[in-house]
Structure 1
Amino acid sequence: MGWYRTGTATVTNNSATVTGVGTDWVEGAALGETFLGPDGQCYEITQILGATSMRISPNYKGSTAAAQAYAIMPTRGDLEELTAEAAKLIASYAAIRDGAGKGKFAAGTVAAPSLRGTADENTGLRFAGNDILQLITNGVVRLQIAADGTPSGVFVEKLPVSTATQTAINNLAAACVAIANVGSAPNELPSNQHLGELAFLDALGATSVTRHTRDSKPGDVWHEWVSNTQLIKKFHGFDNVIRTITETYA
């Protein structure tokens, strides 16, 4: 560390006070270091009063003089300087030590998540608070896991069917006979099959009921349900006329 010679010094005979002009003794000097006065004598710096004022010991022995060259000889050495710099580093690292160093991260925002990359600031993992965990890409929440473990978001909506589930679906489909047409083949629905009433839910969630119209042939006899106390009996005559009678039950 070099000697400090910035500015000039004014000294007074038999006085302990030294006044500077253009000096910064707060940064350039320290207690216990040596002040080399205009008289060529060495004095101990006993107090730094400010950037332009300090006290020495013993009192100045030379003649009173203004705006004189001077020098301050450092005695701290490299080790002391290193210690001071290390203290500054530790102080600046305290926030990291008490935060990320302990695995604790700020909540962040959607645009800047708690954990993110230096080259991709709007993508990462966010600890949003209230026991909520968010996965964010391009500044948008893609997956949110609530405190009870319930997932939500576009990530959940786009999840593929698992291999096991898809295998089960494929096995069920293979075991079923596909009915493609009406006819007499094994994979066709018989033309005279009466399916009765079919109930289903429409797109609005309302229950609808439809009735299959029987494709009968001469000689067929069947019943159609009207109510819990009434049936219609139908007969397809050989003259190709369908005749009906109503049966009422108590």
Structure 2
Amino acid sequence: MTASAGAWYRVGKVNVTNDNQSVVGVDTNWQNDVTAIAVGDIFTLDAKTWYEVVAVNSDTSITLDREYEGNTQNSANYAIVRNTSGTILTRVAGQIAVQFNQKQLFLDELRKWLNSDNATEELTDSHGVKKTLKTPAQMVRDHDNKL
């Protein structure tokens, strides 16, 4: 499930522990959602006590600015309010940078594959899955051996 582009993010549930800054998400997608959570966003369980998100560690892990003050809870409803003051352009720029970086990595792999004298090289597809492919040089050798 992906989040809407609204100001509130409520996908999944969370596990929180009293006196601990770490929040564990259950069925969350904090890093890789279209509208990913960012440092500076605001986390709450009760709409009374607010915490700043100081790290987005993974799709299922964030760190708060201070220790959680409430009771330990599992599978709790939560909300993260996106701090949009000056961060929208930063988020868009960050997402563009990630895309450019992924494309550059693919181009580097492709260049290596095209110019390699090895029999095979690894290429990473758009889902991050590595595939071992026969190189053009090996294809030429295979063709020459059949003649």
Give the TM-score band, short-chain normalised.
Answer: 0.5 to 0.7
What is the deviation of 1:47?
A: 1.1
- The structure whose RCO (Cα within 8 Å, separation 6+) is larger is 2
Give the total of aligned pairs. Answer: 90
Change (3 A) 1:80 1:46: closer
Q: How does 1:90-105 map to 2 (within 5 A)?
A: none
Change (3 A) 1:49 1:2: same
What is the deviation of 1:84?
A: 4.1
Gaps of 5+ in 1: 93-250
TM-score by length of 2: 0.53
What is the deviation of 1:60?
A: 0.4
CA distance in 2, matches of 1:83, 1:53: 21
CA distance in 2, matches of 1:33, 1:85: 15
- Note if contact 1:37-1:43 (Cα within 8 Å) is conserved in structure 2: no
The two structures, once aligned, show a CA RMSD in angstroms of 2.4
- Higher share in helix: 2
- Higher share in strand: 1
TM-score by length of 1: 0.32
> What secondary structure is seen at the aligned counterpart in 2 of 1:54?
strand
> What secondary structure is seen at the aligned counterpart in 1 of 2:87?
helix
CA distance in 2, matches of 1:46, 1:86: 19
CA distance in 1, matches of 2:25, 2:77: 10
Q: Return the match for 1:14 from 15, 19, 26.
A: 19
Change (3 A) 1:65 1:38: farther
What is the deviation of 1:71?
A: 0.4
The one-letter code matched in structure 2 to 1:13 is N
Give the structure with higher Rg (CA): 1
Aligned to 1:52: 60
Any runs of at least 4 consecutive aligned residues in structure 1 with deviations exceeding 4 A, and if so which?
A: none
Change (3 A) 1:80 1:9: same
Q: Percent identity?
A: 31
Query: Are 1:31 and 2:39 counterparts?
Result: yes
> What secondary structure is seen at the aligned counterpart in 2 of 1:9?
strand
The CA deviation string for residues 129-165 of structure 1, in whole angstroms up to 9 with x for no partner, is xxxxxxxxxxxxxxxxxxxxxxxxxxxxxxxxxxxxx
Change (3 A) 1:31 1:85: closer
Query: Are 1:3 and 2:11 counterparts?
Result: no
